[in-house]
Structure 1
Amino acid sequence: MGCWISFFSLSTFLLLVEATNTNNGSLTIKAYWNEVFPTTPMPNAIQGLLPSSTKFLGFGGPGIRPWISRWGALGHNHDSSNVNWSPDLAPLYFLREDLQPGSKMNVTMMIRPESYASSDGRNVSSEPTFLPRQQAEAIPFASSNLTAILKMFSIQPHSEHASLTRQTLADCEMPALKGEVKYCATSLESLIDFVVAEFRTSKIHAAVTSVVNREEEVKARSYRVGVGGGRLMSHKVVTCHETMFPCAVFYCHNFAGTRPYMVPLVADDGSRVNAIALCHFDTSNWNPGHASFQLLGVKPGTVPICHFILKDLAWVPN
């Protein structure tokens, strides 16, 4: 699968493919992964974002994942006031003490489909996917080039997709907060380069929230933290969050004072999720109007603020 094909300009597509095919020395995405991580299998969550053919043709899912847009805005933008927050968002944030065994959490959309049925009955990906580095670098990824980007992907200037594309560019260009190192990866190869540089080693792996009961449908559930509670995975983590863009773009950052936990969640109906939670121990530089403080009734810099990540990637040492 490639970008939202319904928005992709055929002429631009052909130019990008031609540019890629003429560079015989370039590595495929999988080959690059194997070169950097020769003993680490690529997680399914990443494989699902790879193009399915050399032509990078695919189907998009306009409007089918609004929860990802909401989660992305809350999950990585600690400078945002999120003035439109709702009590319905409360389960997104919790305190570190809630990681104790038996703690109850109401988590919405923890389980979601990886694909959907097209009009002809085929199961197709619901995710924009990565382009190879050369193609990704051909996209003028900057707010100043928004008009060109919208034309490249045949996106109507006043559409919801244009607004999401504009917001992603703005988020990526926003200055890093104190203690934060950030980077927007427009290809899997550039994402790999960033996380390896941050850890200064390739002996790392990507941890993701995994659903044990894959056949379960998407719905809200009340979970309890299982036996053992949240397990600290590392004292350092680089997190890469999905953004809303015609092709896969990940907002990656290394935020000082952030620690990843593996949390076993068990629902009353038997559904189980091995969830990744991030706990931010230093929130003193966050916007006081951030939704987490309003939802939890705490102030910046007082207590660790935690939240789950879904399809996002938590890179940690082996």
Structure 2
Amino acid sequence: MDNMIYYFSLSILFLLVGARNDGAFTISSYWNEVFPRTPMPHAIRALLPSFSMMPRYGGTPCRCAWGGRWGVLGHNHDQSKRNWSPNLAPLYFLRDDLHPGSKMNVTIMISPTMVDGSKGGISIEPTFLPRQQAQAIPFSTSNLTTILKTFSIQPHSEYASFTRQTLQDCEGPALKGEVKYCATSLESMIDFVVAELGSREIHAVVTSVVNKEEKVKARTYRVGDGGGKVMSSKVVTCHDVTFPYAVFYCHNFQGTRPYMVPLIADDGSRVNAIALCHFDTSNWNPGHASFRLLGVKPGTVPICHFILKDLAWVPN
């Protein structure tokens, strides 16, 4: 059995190494085919594979930013999920807080190179695999042992636990009113969002830093002139989850609307933040942190939260 896993892992390794040279071109070509008039956002381009950014294999553990991600903001609205971080709790707020001048009870720490993929930044985050290479690795808990061996992850390590949890989250049932999909490649993510939104006339938006020359700081913000503005009545959100290569938990939730929110700090720093407002929370876990923080009950008022590194796909 071990020999079979070894040879299977080795064949995957050869595919992955071969993907280093032409992976970015293959993925970009598919983007241009589907979205010929839409430039690829920096946040997505930063996750394209290259020789220096591909995960490392063999005797060297994967240089993955396991602890540096924002997580999923409780994508299943169940705080028992391991990918949910209590440090993100202040990101929740009420829709009434989106008017100009509103003091947001939120401190956001953003690195321009992490959010924008700006040139000059060094990323050690997992990158996308081309669809063909991603499909060569069965994405399932039953294949966990092979995945760990392929990426040189110790089976009893924290990395292995995160990998297992992501697989379990992706295999779990969708909530009522939710259509979910774990995209193991950018191509599969594109196919899902196009099918869900029913059009190719769409684009991805992400929270972005206006003051790009600023170093990473933690600040408290207020809503700028014009307040938060709804971008569309439809949205598909794709959350960056923890895995040896880039995987996104994408879902389409009924009654969710995306907002663009200008945020301004006292020192003049600005962030164009993406917020999602959920108008139907009746099926959420009553123990979810947002209800305790905001003093409301499930199904009573819309609950909003910012997404920092995640992608919101909206119609043009």
TM-score range, shorter chain: 0.7 to 0.9
Partner of 1:4: none
Matched residues in 1 for 2:237 and 2:53: separation? Answer: 30
Aligned to 1:114, what secondary structure does the other structure show?
Answer: helix
282, 285, 303: which is aligned to 2:301? 303
Stretch moving more, 40-49 or 288-297: 288-297
8 Å CA contact retained: 1:225, 1:263: yes
Aligned residue type for 1:305:
I
Q: Which residue is 2:110 aligned to?
A: 111
Tell me, yes or no, if structure 1 residue 13 matches structure 2 residue 13.
Answer: yes
Counterpart residue number, 1:139: 137
Aligned-pair identity in percent equals: 75
Report the Cα distance in structure 2 between the residues aligned to 1:132 and 1:255, rounded to whole angstroms.
27
With over 3 angstroms needed to count, the CA separation of the structure-2 counterparts of 1:145 and 1:52, relative to structure 1, is: same
Maintained 8 Å contact 2:108/2:220: no
Displacement of 1:266 after TM fit?
Answer: 0.2
Deviation by residue 1:21-79 (Cα, 9 ceiling, x = unmatched) = 9x9xx9710000000000000000000000124994667344551xx2xx424241213
Q: Which one of 226, 229, 233 corresponds to residue 228 of structure 1? A: 226
Residue of structure 1 equivalent to 2:78: 79
Deviation at 1:200, TM superposition (A): 1.4
1:277–1:308: 8 Å Cα contact kept in structure 2?
yes
CA distance in 2, matches of 1:238, 1:31: 22
**Shift of the alpha carbon at 1:211?**
0.4
SS in structure 1 opposite 2:122?
strand
Quick one: structure 1 residues 195 and 107, their matched pair in 2 at CA, closer, same or farther if it must change by over 3 Å?
same
Aligned equivalents of 1:109 and 1:197: distance in 2? 33
State the one-letter code of the partner of 2:251. H
How do 1:1-318 and structure 2 match up within 5 A?
Answer: 12-18=12-18, 28-53=26-51, 56=54, 60-62=63-65, 65=68, 68=69, 71-81=70-80, 89-112=88-111, 114=113, 124-318=122-316
Q: What SS does the aligned partner of 2:251 have?
A: strand
Q: Which deviates further from its counterpart, 26-35 or 249-258?
A: 26-35
Number of positions where the alignment pairs a residue of Structure 1 with one of Structure 2: 298
Distance 2:289 2:83 in 1: 9
Gaps of 5+ in 2: 1-8, 57-61, 115-119
In the superposition, relative to structure 1, how do residues 87 and 162 fare at CA in structure 2: closer, same or farther (>3 Å)?
closer
Matched-pair contact (CA < 8 Å) for 2:19–2:130: no
Change (3 A) 1:88 1:208: closer
Contact 1:114–1:126 (Cα < 8 Å) also in 2:
no
State the match for 1:119 in structure 2: none
- Bigger Cα displacement from structure 2, 291-300 vs 238-247: 291-300
1:222-251 per-position Cα deviation (integer Å, ceiling 9, x unaligned): 100000000000001000000000000000
> Per-residue CA shift, 1:261-286, capped at 9, x if unaligned?
00000001111000000000000011
What amino acid maps onto 2:63 in structure 1?
A: G
Alpha-carbon distance in 1 for matches of 2:87, 2:15: 45
Of stretches 94-103 and 83-92 in structure 1, the one that deviates more from structure 2 is: 83-92
**Residues 64 and 126, structure 1, Cα contact 8 Å, conserved in 2:** no
1:62-105, Cα deviation, whole Å (9 max, x unpaired):
4551xx2xx42424121334699998544210000111111112
Given that residues 239 and 248 in structure 2 are in contact (C-alpha distance below 8 angstroms), is that contact kept between their aligned partners in structure 1? yes
TM-score, length basis structure 2: 0.86
> Deviation per CA, 1:156-194, whole angstroms, max 9, x where unpaired?
111111111111111111100011000000000000000
Tell me, yes or no, if the aligned pair for 1:111 and 1:218 is still in contact at 8 Å.
Answer: yes
Report if aligned partners of 1:110, 1:310 keep a CA contact under 8 Å in 2. Answer: no
